[in-house]
Structure 1
Amino acid sequence: MDDLDRIYLFGAHCYRVPSPPLGQVVEDMQTMKRLGMNLANFQISWSWCNPDDGKYDFGDLVTLLAESDRIGLFASITLTMEQMPKWVWDTYPDCRLMNARGNRIEDPTQYVLPADGKPGPCWDHTGVRREARRFLDALMETTRGFKHIAYWNLWQEISLAMVNPGASGPDRNVPFNPETLDAFRDWLKARHASLEALNNAWGTRFPSWERVEPPRLYTKVPSFMDWRRFVFEGYLPGVVEERKRVIRKGAGSPTRVAFHTCHPLFGAAWEFAWSRLADYYGTSFYPTAQLYHGWEHPGGILEEVEDRRHELWSSLYHLNYGRCTASGPTRYLISEIACGPYNVGLHVKGDVTREDLRRWLLLQIAAGSQGVVLWNTRPEIFWDEAQGQGFLDGNGGLTPHAEALREFGDALKRHSDLLANSRKPVSPVGIGVDDDTSLFLEGSDAGVHANMPLRGVYEALLTLGVDPNFVDVNRSDGQALARRRILFMPFAAAMAERTVRKLAAYVEAGGVLVSGPTPARFSEYGWAYQSGMSPEAELLFGVRQKSLCQVAEESSLWRWTPKPGRAGDLRAPVVLKGTAELESLALRASFYVQTFEPVRSRPVLRVPEPGGRNAVAGVMNRRGNGRVYLFGTMFAYASLSEGCHGTRAALGRILDSIEVPRARQGEVVMHRRFWQGAELVSLVNLGSQAGFWRDEAGAPSLEDILTGEVFGPGADIPVPAHDLRVCVRRVD
């Protein structure tokens, strides 16, 4: 265990109940070892291991831990606490989660599906917490002698997800249990200096703390913002911390813990704080099901050429977002990665090939992972995922795509230390993530607009040869922001004035800020500024808003545009014309057209108005040693979904004006990781034709991580169309 920091964890989930016969699981672990894996994950369920009060059965787990130790595999144990025993549900009938209507969620599932037992009970219930501690204490007593346990996964795909198709928002919104509401009030007391301060923030007149309530049926109110902040800052991480305390106390020796999400919480920054609670933090990654977001899917049968390019950039968006949340010393772990088709009930999906699996493994390396765990060994036996997943067949034999795992295992034998410890450098380009806007959009039932602007600007920057970082604007101090030469905020509709002041200080110190439309149109509590922009934002951008309207999409599409109620609700499609440093560029307007009256700023975009006049639709303002750009349209949508080359060209000009390096040759872009003088070089070809990357003359040779092929200084390194390769460069 002392050498664990030098080992890139490479394993698979091989046990969860209901499970195939234990003998098959043992055989599969031996196969894993032969393939070069070093970790076996066992998912245990509270209801299975503790079927009655005082009765514990850890027999399967002990057998598997002993076998994994015998054959030289590390073990990890995933807890499924939401799958609570029926006797606990019966003992504490008031532990059921209450929704916003005051109804209890009656679903004491005894199965791991759906959703690993989520949402489970109310974890603020004292009886449930007591029984959970008893169970975990017994579990730790049983496993204490096994020293090869690499980590404990405290919460598989952390969330309050509820499988309840068609349920309304109030029916799904939890937890409104009395104990949790008391905890919410305590959290509010710490956040607000006084009851008067809370009433001022919310626009309410609660006479006492005991009367304070979160909203239940209507979310477009200020109190919703604090309620959801509490869930993400208080309730969910509080559950993790409780489990962490019990596990570490029971282990009797230093013990590593982990947890992960089913996908990054795109648009929000809660995970940047969550990750500090764990030694390993990360995400699931299912390119078989998670590639298309919002309105991206074109419908019908997907063409392989466009689908493959989409897979590359969408996967890197997913994986890099997750990596950026794993802050400080926390290691970034891909806790689940697909290795077989994602079947759902009667619907079966296409086969996963050796090349697919090879590409996915390389993508997560390119994004910065420090460990990966496959889902799973043999095909699924459970109803809703029948015959899906798996790198083995039903008899335990290797599938054709399993050969990609052997190649990856061989690479680990040569480069495990570099893969485990190398990290991507801090990028000079940041994409800001703001919780206030994320919550505001959630409350507006418009959460898609928290994610899609980030996807749009990421795809544009990736194409331009930039490897950006996602940045937690809410929690980053001035020093952290100053590490970025340029920061993109593609849609920050709701911002606290303190956040705007923080951005202003960043610009004054020499940073460059690029904003999408309507920055700080609303406060962090959803209060609308009557002028269309907060006072601090008006100072930062050097403008006053003149007008704001929605603009129709090209070709009469209705992807993000609301249907008009009358003539004049939508402006006809229009193109914005660049001026000054954006001279000669044409940017397609998307979602909004916002026009401005410059105060200290100068125009960089203009839009035609009736009568042949042009209005200002974009500005640049100098502030201290830096500058800000304000685009009065959703430029991220124009680039991503409208194929607007002018938008990408505009971003490229701004990057070039501050000499941001771009690692791009033709359609091939390069990403890098470093550790102790060695580096991993990932070459990603976003083009539909084979490409090349000419390496630096005079640099040490590069070795392909999988094939071992060596490329000398100045060599042209081939990269197949819509594919990637990862190479190692070591300095002797």
Structure 2
Amino acid sequence: MNSRAATSDGKATASASASPFVHEGIAYGCDYNPEQWGPDVWAEDVRLMREAGVDLVAINIFGWSHLEPRPGEYDFATLDTIIELLHANGIRVNLGTGTSSPPPWLTTLHPEILPVTDDGTTRFPGGRQAWCPSSAVFREHALALVEQVAKRYGHHPAIALWHVSNELGCHNALCYCDDTAAAFRLWLQARYGTIDALNAAWGTSFWSQRYGQWAEILTPRLTLSSQNPGQVLDFHRFSSAELLDYYRLEAAVLRRHSDVAVTTNFMVTAHIRNLDYWSWAGDMDIVANDHYLDHRLADPATELAFAADLTRGLAQGEPWLLMEQAAGAVNWQPHNLAKAPGEMTRNSLAHVARGADGICFFQWRASLQGSEKFHSALVPHAGTDTVLWREVVALGATLDRLAEVTGSRVVADAALIFSWESWWAGDGESRPSHAVRYLDQVHAAYTALHDLGVTVDIVSPDADLSGYRLVVAPNLYLVSDAQAENLRSYVAAGGHALITFFSGIVDEDDRVRTGGYPGAFREILGITVEEFSPLLPGHLLALDSGAAASLWSERLRVDTAEVFASYLDGPLPGIPAITRNRHERGTAWYVATALEAGALRDLVRTVAQEARVTAVGPERIATPERTDAPERTATTQRSGSIEVVRRVGATHSYLFIINHGHGDVELAAAGHELVTDEPVGRIVRVPAGAVRVIREDPAS
């Protein structure tokens, strides 16, 4: 069996799609690990699933050692029983291929499949994903298992979805072993063609790094000094492509034996950055994501909204599936906070509001042993006489009442450009300030839009921007000529853009664009930056607009732009900090510093108003004491505790109102409220911590 596809450069078009994933209403599901329990518990589990309304269950995610206890010997008796039990009770199966972690016999027989870290040391079994993505031996054994699973269950009526591996690249995305080095060289040859082209791309004239033949190239293991940025960037590209290549191999086996939809679970979240999902999404029959609140962040709920919007962007606006979330606490953060009553429901419906047509959890029943024994589950250790279980059952009933929302789409007239390549390259070792991090700046821009109630599509630098009134490009450090032209032509055609500092600096080879920063965007911005002037953490700047800023400043001169604000103090007093430029039919704004949250929100409000961006809901919020408050301007600052999103279907639109705060709110709306199944005449009251979903009257 061929263990390497011809598309290992990651540039191939998406593989042929199977039938799309179809589910009646909003799927309500979970990961189920029956191998951790006995048959007496299985029967009880299925009874409780029916009570809760669970109708999609992921199984066999970590099943390899049970299905193939010895090399080439397969035992499907337990899996057969589980599938038949679920099917008999009307519960559909999201069937894992079982390949996410190899069994001990495989790593014992073939220790060469184990991953190697950048310090050259091997990582051993005992956890999960103890395998190298480039290992031909691993691929051979894994694909043999997939073949057996697909042949046995490919036409079983219970199977609703194929689940390839699990969270590909969560732990092993970057392997530095000799097998990986050989695969990396093949990928580089396919990308560059000649060794001279590679030397030019990597700038190997620096520090005597010029290569004479492909065999000299290694993976970027740890060095005594800083590493070659071009090599590191390409290794990230290769590693993402290598795991996509592996996904395609599993998917091809499944599609030979089944016409059921195939996917895997993405990890669009704040702490996973190694896979460029823009290049992956086209291979998914439905885009699926895992998301867990990260309490290491200042605002986990807004990061959830960002992740959901990005997942919808990966799905090209189509409905998508939340494959995993937590019912309560996780087990892998320094401080694993439990969710307050109602928070699980708010989190779930926030994903639905932003395009998810399925809500699933890890996991069904809390484990008694292993690393995740303190990870929450739909059935907690304390059992069903619990607040959590009652909320689980209530959520199932709520999702049933929202069934008609299925298939509707979120409509946005603002977009935020997000680039994994800018994340990789912009956060490299040798950059002007390690206090400036790409994702921080992306989250800051998104939060400003989110707080103003502006619904945002998150798009790639290559996306068609023509349908948006406003495009925001935060810290877009790396752009190709084509991507730069994409944004330039959008502005020239009448679009409004807001670009923040450290954008347009390098091309796709991480080569600086000369003539002044921000090289790729100087023309549309009408400015030239002569020099970066980063600030030490904790140092604040004052602007003559009254705004405060930190982290970064630039020696900037205006060419055709007008000055909106300048520095009052710091290293560059009197130098422009915020500019606005007319370019052909459009307008481009530039922010040369890291504005404090309130100042950034105020600026985004100004830019959005000029672009005639429409906010959904917040401007219509009325206090309980005054329900006749007039509508405000489209970008008036929203309450940070209220989230309002609209999904639009063929016959109706649906207004989601999520109250994260501690007080009741009222909002102008008319139609029928689906959570409580009550009519809404003119004003809907949303209690503290609650969610309301209004099927809107056509005139609302």
The two structures have a TM-score, normalised by structure 1, of: 0.82
Distance 2:131 2:436 in 1: 29
The answer for the alignment partner of 2:110 in structure 1 is 92
Q: Distance in 2 between matches of 1:2 and 1:320?
A: 21
Alignment-derived partner of residue 215 in structure 2 = 210
Q: Distance in 2 between matches of 1:411 and 1:702?
A: 14
The 1:213–1:441 alpha-carbon spacing in structure 2 relative to 1, beyond 3 Å, is same
Shift of 1:723: 4.7
Q: How does 1:302-451 map to 2 (within 5 A)?
A: 310-327=299-316, 331-343=319-331, 351-394=338-381, 397-416=384-403, 418-425=404-411, 427-444=412-429, 449-451=437-439
Residue of structure 2 equivalent to 1:626: 586
Aligned residues: 647
Q: In structure 1, how many angstroms separate the alpha carbons of the residues matched to 2:311 and 2:501?
A: 26
Shift in Å, 1:547: 4.2
- Name the CA shift for 1:443/1:612 in 2 (closer, same or farther; >3 Å): closer
Q: Partner residue of 2:628?
A: none
- Paired with 2:696 and 2:456, the residues of 1 have a C-alpha distance of 22
Identify the residue that residue 256 of structure 1 maps to in structure 2.
261
Give the C-alpha shift of residue 193 in structure 1. Answer: 5.0
Deviations 1:313-346 (A, max 9, x none): 23222322222222365x411111211333469x
- Structure 2 distance, partners of 1:93, 1:393, is 37
Give, in whole Å, the separation in 2 of the partners of 1:402 and 1:728.
28
2:590 corresponds to 1:573: no
Tell me which residue corresponds to 1:302: none
SS of 1:377's equivalent? Answer: coil
* Contact 1:362–1:725 (8 Å) recurs in 2: no
Which secondary structure state, in structure 2, belongs to the residue aligned with residue 710 of structure 1?
Answer: strand
Aligned partners of 1:182 and 1:598: how far apart in 2? 49
CA distance in 1, matches of 2:567, 2:112: 60
Contact 1:97 1:177 in 2 (8 A): yes
Match for residue 440 of structure 2?
Answer: 452
CA deviation digits over 1:603-641, x for unaligned, max 9? 111112589962222221221111211111023xx11xx
Q: Secondary structure of the residue that 2:221 maps to in structure 1?
A: coil
Q: For residues 21 and 730 of structure 1, what CA distance do their matches in structure 2 show?
A: 51
Which amino acid letter does the alignment assign opposite residue 79 of structure 2?
L
In the alignment, structure 1 residue 278 sits paired with structure 2 residue 264: no
Distance in 2 between residues matched to 1:551 and 1:68, nearest whole Å: 59
How far 1:29 moved relative to its partner? 1.6
With over 3 angstroms needed to count, the CA separation of the structure-2 counterparts of 1:20 and 1:6, relative to structure 1, is closer
Distance 2:530 2:302 in 1: 37
Aligned to 1:191: 191
The CA distance in 1 between the partners of 2:541 and 2:159, in whole Å, is: 60
CA deviations 1:477-520 (Å, max 9, x no partner) are: xxx11122211112123333443232212211111111111322
Find 1:707's aligned residue among 660, 663, 676: 676
CA shift, 1:124, in A, is: 2.9
CA separation of 1:98 and 1:314: change in aligned 2, threshold 3 A: closer
Q: RMSD in angstroms over aligned alpha carbons?
A: 3.0
**One-letter code of the match for 2:695?**
V
Is residue 451 of structure 2 the alignment partner of residue 463 of structure 1?
yes
- Give the structure with the larger helix fraction: 1
Alignment of 1:680-699 (within 5 A): 680-685=654-659, 689-695=663-669
**Equivalent residue of 2:437, what SS?**
helix
Residues 436 and 57 of structure 1, relative CA distance in 2, 3 Å threshold: same
User: Equivalent residue for 2:625?
Assistant: none
**1:726 Cα shift?**
2.2
Q: Per-residue deviation at 1:401?
A: 2.3
- Give the Å deviation of 1:394: 4.1
Q: Secondary structure of the residue that 1:621 maps to in structure 2? A: strand
- Are the equivalent residues in 2 in contact too, given 1:513–1:629 (CA < 8 A)? yes
- Deviation per residue, 1:569-620 (Å, 9 max, x gap): xxx5221124xxxxxxx22112111231111212111112589962222221
What residue number does 1:71 align with?
89
Contact 1:687 1:721 in 2 (8 A): yes
> Percent identity between the aligned chains?
19
Structure 2 CA distance for partners of 1:442 and 1:52, relative to 1, 3 Å? farther
* Cα contact 1:353–1:400 (8 A) shared by 2: no
| Equivalent pair of 1:258/1:281 in contact (CA under 8 Å) | yes
Q: 8 Å contact 1:518–1:532 — kept in the other structure?
A: no
Q: Distance in 1 between matches of 2:90 and 2:381?
A: 25
* Deviation at residue 717 of structure 1 after TM alignment: 0.8
Aligned 8 A contact 1:432 1:472 in 2: yes
Residue 235 (structure 1) aligned with residue 219 (structure 2): no
Report if the CA contact (8 A) 2:63-2:98 is conserved.
yes
Name the residue aligned to 1:39. 56
Q: Is the 8 A contact 1:6 1:421 kept in 2?
A: no
After superposition, give the CA deviation of every residue in 1:268-294 in whole Å (9 maximum; x if it has no partner). Answer: 88212312212232222323xx1442x
Matches within 5 A, 1:96-245: 96-105=114-123, 107-109=124-126, 114=127, 117-118=128-129, 120-161=130-171, 174-192=174-192, 194-204=194-204, 205-217=210-222, 218-232=226-240, 234-245=241-252
Cα pair 2:479 2:504 within 8 Å, conserved: yes
AA partner of residue 660 (structure 1):
V
Paired with 1:372 and 1:74, the residues of 2 have a C-alpha distance of 14
Q: Structure 1 residue 658 and structure 2 residue 611: aligned?
A: yes
> For the residues of structure 1 that align with 2:193 and 2:465, how far apart are their CA atoms?
28
2:685 paired residue number = 718
Q: Tell me the CA shift for residue 721 of structure 1.
A: 4.0
SS of structure 2 residue aligned to 1:139: helix
Q: TM-score, normalised by structure 2?
A: 0.85
- Partner amino acid for 1:435? W
Equivalent of residue 649 in structure 1, options 591, 602, 610: 602
CA contact (8 A) 1:355 1:401 kept: no
Q: Distance in 2 between the 1:70 and 1:525 partners?
A: 56
Residue 557 of structure 2 corresponds to: 597
Moved more, 435-444 or 501-510: 435-444
- How big is each residue's C-alpha offset from its partner over 1:297-317, in whole Å with a ceiling of 9 and x where there is no partner? xxxxxxxxxxxxx45423222
Tell me which residue corresponds to 1:568. none
Q: Secondary structure at the match of 1:672?
A: strand
Distance in 1, matches of 2:213 and 2:52, equals 63
Separation in 2, partners of 1:101, 1:376 = 34
Q: Which of the residues 642, 651, 655 maps onto 1:677?
A: 651
Residue identity opposite 2:136 in structure 1: T
User: Structure 2: how far apart are the matches of 1:228 and 1:71?
Assistant: 45
Q: Given that residues 267 and 454 in structure 1 are in contact (C-alpha distance below 8 angstroms), is that contact kept between their aligned partners in structure 2?
A: no
Judging changes above 3 Å, is the alpha-carbon distance between structure 1 residues 92 and 352 closer, same or farther for their aligned structure 2 residues?
same
For 1:511-561, what per-residue CA distance to the aligned partner results, in whole angstroms no more than 9, with x for missing partners? Answer: 1111111322344333345655254432232222244322356xxx4xxxx
Contact kept, 8 Å, 2:504 with 2:519, in 1: the verdict is no
Relative to structure 1, is the Cα distance of residues 686 and 604 closer, same or farther in structure 2, using a 3 angstrom cutoff? Answer: farther
The aligned residue for residue 167 of structure 1 is none
2:511 aligns to what? 527
Runs of 5+ unmatched residues, structure 1: 163-172, 297-309, 558-571, 579-585
Between 1:459-468 and 1:430-439, the stretch displaced more is: 430-439
